[in-house]
Chains A and B, each alone.
Chain A
Amino acid sequence: MNTVPSLPAQVAQIARRSLLRTLRQPAQIVPPVIFPLFLLAINASGLDAATMIPGFPSDSYVDFAMAFAFMQGAIFSMMNSGTDLARDVESGFLKRLAMTPMRRTALLVGQLAGVLAVTLLSGVVYLVVGLIAGVTVETGVAGVVVLFVLFGLIGLAFASLGAFVGLRSGSAEAVQGFFPLFFVALFLSSASLPRELIEQDWFRTVATYNPVSYLVEGIRSLFIFDWDGQALAVAFAIAAAVTCVGLAGAVRALRTQVVR
């Protein structure tokens, strides 16, 4: 006698599929791991002089720039979750899943869990490479734990935005079109310089209003400051808010995709 599998069992099946898919597409693994490290290396060597600016919060630019790498990893999770779901819409696989007793939440949570596992794995690589390169985490082991919780939440926020775009558009190309926008948002944030040291007024204004700045600053605080409760609280709050918006949009888009 067949019985409807439990929600966690459904999530596990979808997450497993998502992981398998990702592992079989090197294009979904290599860029999120390599590009951020590549940029980190360039920035660390090219911008090291920035640490000489009076008021620069760290004496090591690599420590300062680690947050940049983590943010890029989170943005890649938007790309991966969005592309995968859009492909499922395009191929009709979503309809196949909709014909099973599986709950829509399971599809979404499972897909995001699979993406998130890859994101966290790339985070481990950034950290290990960083530590080898001499990065210090001021907040210690507890800071690393908080780092991965925050990084996971930020990854989830971007992944759910990706899921929303992917399900809404049903087109992998549309997701890929959105991807650079997030990179622009990252470059227009305080990722390269602390806000108070940005000299251009317009840039400083944009960076101040750009929520990405606060995500970067939350992660960065764990590397270069001792515990900074406010920076962390703001980062967690923004990541949670974006996750809520992304998930709400994705659930809505999924409903229209499954029953048109």
Chain B
Amino acid sequence: MSTSHRDNGIEVEGLVREFKKGPRAVDGIDFAVAPGEIYGFLGPNGAGKSTTVLMLTTLLPPTAGTARVAGHDIVAGAAEVRASIGVALQDAALDPLLTGSEHMRLQTALQGVPKADRKRRGMELIERVGLADAADRKVGGYSGGMKRRLDLALALVHGPRLLFLDEPTTGLDPSSRSDLWDEVARLAREDGTTVFLTTQYLEEADVLADRVGIIDAGRIVAEGTPEALKAQIGRPALEIVPADIAQRDAAAEVLARFGEAAPAPPNAAAVRLTGGNDALAEVVRSLDAEGVRIADFQLHAPSLDDVFLAKTGKKLGGEDETGEHAAVAETPPAGPAGEREPVGSGSPR
């Protein structure tokens, strides 16, 4: 384990947090975040994401286990950890009676930015997050997105090498969300800041994170790059909508030759292709041979949604595995990357 103070990664071993009269909120988790990486910590409400963040940011002592953040132990070196990290917690904790610039002034002073640099540093960050016009307005009148952006700017005043963002976009409209994603991506790519980001949005993790850890009921159930996790699920799902609904069963029979059935809307049939995309041409030929006319078809690449479902047996919104449309509603609209796999009607089991 590295002890260098230049290290700006995270190493977590067997971290546990128990609350009185409650279950283990965090139940022995291990993971590592490399310097400069964006790590997405994904899980439903109550999974243990925020408790993990509070422990890693020294605001909550762990019940057991150890963690090193930026090379310092979170218990023995709490002050050093705090000096190395920037934190934006779930509810942007701002003073509604102070203006944006007054927040910057307080934060720069308390973080020990030299007096001569405070104003410049504050204005730079305010401009960077696009709040220059609102800097002298009281925060009580800010929108949710503006508060989150100010919160991010405040987390950056001391030039932290490591940034913790706890559900930074929850409750934001699509455009604010996309602005924040851009900024976080820029911090990691241009400044080399390590970012630990919790989210309940699959798409957010997919768009932003280099690697993803999926936490459920206090335990990490899967970890890897979004691509690797999706590859574990592997096979794409093909959904066919026959032109004549009477041919639905015939279509389903043909599809069954190419893999296990996947959930589909009533007017369609779907299959998880055992042979991957290569089987596609053969499926079309077979359908043609059986006289099934196709009105529409969609190929669904595996998504983090599928990974989550496969690993936890649950949809990421706290719903049980039903295989129906639920997951779509839980993911936010497309972000800056603009690319989404079609997460259509059936989330495969």
Count how many pairs of residues, one from A and one from B, have CB atoms less than 8 Å apart in the complex: 74
CB distance from A192 to the nearest CB of B (A): 37
Please indicate the chain A residues that have their CB under 8 angstroms from the CB of B85 in the complex: 99
A2→B113 contact, CB < 8 A: yes
B112→A95 contact, CB < 8 A: no
- With A17-B106, A96-B154 given, is the CB distance from A101 to B79 under 8 Å? yes
**Listed residue (B79, B97, B110, B158) with the most chain A CB atoms within 10 angstroms of its CB:** B110
Tell me the bound Cα distance from A97 to B98 in angstroms. 15
Please indicate the chain A residues that have their CB under 8 angstroms from the CB of B89 in the complex: 92, 95-96
B155: nearest chain-A partner, CB-CB: A99
- With A95-B59, A95-B89, A100-B82 given, is the CB distance from A10 to B110 under 8 Å? yes
**Size band of the interface chain B makes with A:** 20 to 34
- With A17-B98, A95-B89 given, is the CB distance from A101 to B83 under 8 Å? yes
- With A2-B111, A99-B82 given, is the CB distance from A93 to B94 under 8 Å? yes
B93→A96 contact, CB < 8 A: yes
| B109 on interface, CB distance cutoff 8 Å | yes
B107→A100 contact, CB < 8 A: yes
**Which residues of chain A (1-32) have a CB below 8 Å from chain B?**
1-5, 9-10, 13, 16-17, 20-21, 24-25
**Size band of the interface chain A makes with B:** 20 to 34
B82: nearest chain-A partner, CB-CB: A99
A5→B93 contact, CB < 8 A: no
**Which residues of chain B (81-103) have a CB below 8 Å from chain A?**
82-83, 85, 87, 89, 91, 93-95, 97-98, 102
CB distance from B223 to the nearest CB of A (A): 27
Write out, one digit per residue, whether chain B residues 249-292 have a CB within 8 A of any chain A CB (1) or not (0): 00000000000000000000000000000000000000000000
A21: nearest chain-B partner, CB-CB: B97
| B61 on interface, CB distance cutoff 8 Å | yes
B158→A2 contact, CB < 8 A: yes
| A144 on interface, CB distance cutoff 8 Å | no
- Is chain B's interface secondary structure helix, strand, loop, or mixed overall? loop
Please indicate the chain A residues that have their CB under 8 angstroms from the CB of B79 in the complex: 101
Please indicate the chain A residues that have their CB under 8 angstroms from the CB of B57 in the complex: 99
A5→B112 contact, CB < 8 A: yes
A20→B93 contact, CB < 8 A: no
B112→A4 contact, CB < 8 A: yes
B154: nearest chain-A partner, CB-CB: A96
Please indicate the chain B residues that have their CB under 8 angstroms from the CB of A92 in the complex: 89, 91, 93
Please indicate the chain B residues that have their CB under 8 angstroms from the CB of A95 in the complex: 59, 89, 93
Please indicate the chain A residues that have their CB under 8 angstroms from the CB of B94 in the complex: 91, 93
CB distance from B163 to the nearest CB of A (A): 12
- 4 closest A-B pairs by CB: A92-B93, A100-B110, A2-B112, A93-B93
Interface of A with B (CB < 8 Å)? 1-5, 9-10, 13, 16-17, 20-21, 24-25, 91-102, 258-260
Interface of B with A (CB < 8 Å)? 57, 59-61, 79, 82-83, 85, 87, 89, 91, 93-95, 97-98, 102, 106-107, 109-114, 138, 154, 158-159
